[in-house]
Chains A and B, each alone.
Chain A
Amino acid sequence: MVDFIAPVIVAQNLQKKFGELVAVEGISFTVEESEVFGFLGPNGAGKTTAMRMIQCVSPKDDGKLEVFGMDVNTHQKEIKKNIGVVPQENNLDPDFTVYENLFVYSRYFDIPKKESKERVNSLLEFVQLEEKKDVMTYMLSGGMKRRLILARALVNNPSLLILDEPTVGLDPQARHLLWEKIRGLKKQNVTIVLTTHYLEEAAYLCDRLVIMDYGKILVEGDPDNIVKKYIGSDVVEVDNTKPVISCLDKTDINYETLDSTVQIYTNEPKDISDRLMKECKFEKITVRSATLEDVFLKLTGRKLRE
């Protein structure tokens, strides 16, 4: 017999509607144990809606969704007991101090008082908020609030952690600090599902990810492979001018035009730039590595959302 570890989340044709609007339209994915799985997508793509169904706080309309091998419709308490959640919107309890927030939250999970005190103290240390212990939460900076919510999500020692835009609105220092914490958790084999629209965040943290738009999954894979598959290794950029375009049209090179630049996705950047210099006499050519952002923009378009 083969040893078989069941996936942590299995979703098949998962669907959610709000009236006429289909927020999540038949998505399927599987999250394996101990991996960091990302949902990348522009605002309104349906990421939060998907997270809320996994958390058992929003009922699905159709499809199958199992967490820890249990159905989200019938085993909500058992599932919620082992999940930690960092919601998109901060919802710390403004009636309590930093310490009390964690302590009161641990009570909802039936953690005995003594154990809870120890755990709260070690979590405060983990997110570097020991000094703010007795401060009311509305006095905290944005980054501290997010860290406290991360600590709160960990009070029940969850085996699955859901992070819905964990670093939204934070400055680079605060973001990097939080990233390190998340990497630390990954080392402890916590399964993590995270949503983001920061491409570097997804590339830096995720083992695998999906890109979502308008409620659907467009691609799935690990960040490097996705970039290789959809873009290539590099992007060659030249200024968008009439002569540039007419010269490019004479070649067999595929290109994308933006407002002020033309982009060529390629695996042979040296070849391309040599040809452009020779055949078109371009002077300004930029070559850079392809990123997830290129894939993202290619697949979801450049139109502004919301």
Chain B
Amino acid sequence: MSIMSYFKLPSLSYRVLKVWLRNKDVFMTTLKVNLLPPLLSPLLYLFAIGLGLGTYINNIEGVSYIEFIAPAMIAVSMMYASFFECTFGSYVRMYYQKTFDAIIATPLTIEEVITGEMLWGATRSTINATLVVIIVSIMGLAEYPHSLLIIPFSFVSGFLFACLGMCFTSISPNINTLTYPSILFITPMFLFSGTFFPLSLLPQILQYLAYAILPLTHIVMIIRSLTTGSLDIIMLGNFVWIAAASLILFVLSVNLMKKRLIV
């Protein structure tokens, strides 16, 4: 099997929205249980580290410490929401609930099912990010109107993490092995993407690495520019990186899932 078979462009229709709708309907009925967990952790960090530890730090890159980490926590809320939706959430639907099996007996294709799942993952990112943005704004930590752009942007970055999560889901032999990407990839990313301290503190080689393989790095940079209201041409580079990575991971995840599910 050639490597190109992993990069075949999926053919999609409006039916992807039916899968999105299914997940939205479930979400609406379980709103209370579903919404809080992925939202809680970035908020806890914001308060514990930002307000607690932050009192010992007067100034970091020209802003207060809590102002420094607020955009990072918005970015983290996007990452958690969409990544976990398309790893553990999708795995349960695929394997335990046989939801995908049921849907592909209808005119929908597996490509459309997977894409719908990832669009929903991106939506979860937008929902969570919006809530965090509101809290951060109330605390006076976001500049307007720039910060309004975070909302559409959260869908784009959420899509990236959804595709990333779906890639892991497609190769995970069981649900427990999904813990590995969470611990080995998501957690380091949470700590080393210019979230709690500037990237420039890292050794040069690790800085390059962070730019090269950690999506959160680019997302934090964009959101920090938006919350502080200091736009920079470099954001364009960040955005191109995010768009390119999303496209590659999107195509890859759909093909990996096809290989797993079409037998």
Contacts and interface: CB of A to CB of B under 8 A. Distances in A.
Interface of A: 18, 55, 57-59, 76-77, 80-81, 83, 85, 87, 89, 91-96, 100, 104-105, 107-110, 156
9 contacts: A55-B105, A59-B262, A77-B109, A87-B102, A89-B101, A96-B26, A100-B25, A107-B18, A107-B22
Nearest to A77: B107
Given A95-B26, A104-B22, A81 B98 contact: no
Nearest to B113: A108
Given A58-B263, A59-B262, A104-B22, A95 B105 contact: no
Nearest to A52: B263
A110 B109 CA distance: 14
- Please give me the 8 A-B residue pairs with the lowest Cβ-Cβ distance, nearest first: A91-B98, A108-B106, A95-B26, A91-B102, A85-B105, A77-B107, A80-B107, A81-B107
Contacts, number: 59
Contacts of B105: 55, 57, 80, 83, 85, 87
Given A91-B102, A93-B22, A93-B102, 7 more contacts: A59-B262, A87-B101, A94-B97, A95-B97, A108-B15, A108-B18, A108-B106
Contacts of A96: 25-26
Nearest to A104: B22
Contacts of B102: 87, 91-93, 105
Given A59-B262, A104-B22, A91 B101 contact: yes
B104 A57 contact: yes
A91 B104 contact: no
Contacts of A108: 15, 18, 103, 106-108
Interface in B60-111: 97-99, 101-109
Contacts of B18: 107-108
A57 B102 CA distance: 10
Contacts of A92: 102
Contact of A18 (B97, B107, B263): B263
A89 B98 contact: yes
Nearest to A108: B106
A89 B100 CA distance: 13
A259 to B, nearest CB: 39
B191 interface: no
Interface string B11-24: 00001001001100
Contact of A107 (B21, B26, B29, B262): B21
Contacts of A57: 101, 104-105, 262
Contacts of B107: 77, 80-81, 108-110
B255 to A, nearest CB: 15
